[in-house]
């Protein structure tokens, strides 16, 4: 069972993309970027730290809390909301660079994207 943390766009989550139904559906059905797993569970979701892109300090806090609460995180996904913010709005985060930095700092695989709905 792969346990994933999804990082979300704080401007989109639960505003344009409500209740995170799309990511929960995709993980349940192993669609989109969840198709790579034999079994997958969304263990945690968190915002990106909001504009102007405070993703690294936010993830440091989240992963410290996960350790404290004995929650394993096997992989981190940058949500499709972040991909949309990057492609269609003025998101200051370079997702490919952020993925490299996160993977390097926390030693976990990072996937850009989640669902394709």
Q: Which is nearer to ligand SF4, 85 or 99 (CB)?
A: 85
94-113 footprint of ligand SF4 as x/- string (CB under 6 A): --------------------
User: How far apart, in whole angstroms, are the C-alpha atoms of residue 71 and residue 74?
Assistant: 10
- Helix, strand, coil % in the chain, rounded to nearest 5: 45, 20, 35
DSSP-H helix ranges across 1-117: 21-29, 55-68, 80-88, 95-106
Do 104 and 32 meet the contact criterion of CB atoms below 8 Å apart?
A: no
13-52 footprint of ligand SF4 as x/- string (CB under 6 A): x---x--x-xx---------------------x--x-xx-
Among 40, 73, 75, 93, contact with ligand SF4 (rule: CB under 6 A)? 93
Q: What angle do CA 35, 77, 110 make, to 5 degrees?
A: 95
Q: Which is nearer to ligand SF4, 19 or 68 (CB)?
A: 19
Using CB under 6 A as the binding rule, whether residue 12 contacts ligand SF4 is answered as: yes
Do 59 and 73 meet the contact criterion of CB atoms below 8 Å apart?
A: no
Instruction: Report the nearest approach of ligand SF4 to the CB of residue 102 (Å).
Output: 13
Q: Which helix (H) or strand (E) holds 77?
A: strand 75-78
Q: Which is nearer to ligand SF4, 6 or 63 (CB)?
A: 6
Among 46, 63, 76, 91, contact with ligand SF4 (rule: CB under 6 A)? 91
């Amino acid at each position: 069972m792969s346990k994933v943390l999804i990082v979300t766009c704080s401007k989109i989550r639960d505003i344009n993309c409500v209740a995170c139904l799309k990511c929960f559906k995709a993980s349940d059905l192993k669609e989109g970027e969840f198709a790579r797993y034999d079994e997958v569970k969304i263990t945690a979701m968190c915002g990106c730290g909001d504009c102007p892109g405070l993703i690294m300090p936010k993830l440091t806090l989240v992963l410290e809390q996960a350790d404290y609460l004995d929650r394993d995180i096997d992989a981190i996904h940058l949500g499709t909301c972040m991909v949309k913010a990057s492609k269609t709005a003025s998101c200051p985060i370079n997702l490919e660079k952020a993925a490299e930095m996160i993977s390097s700092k926390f030693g976990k695989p990072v996937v850009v994207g989640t669902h394709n709905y």
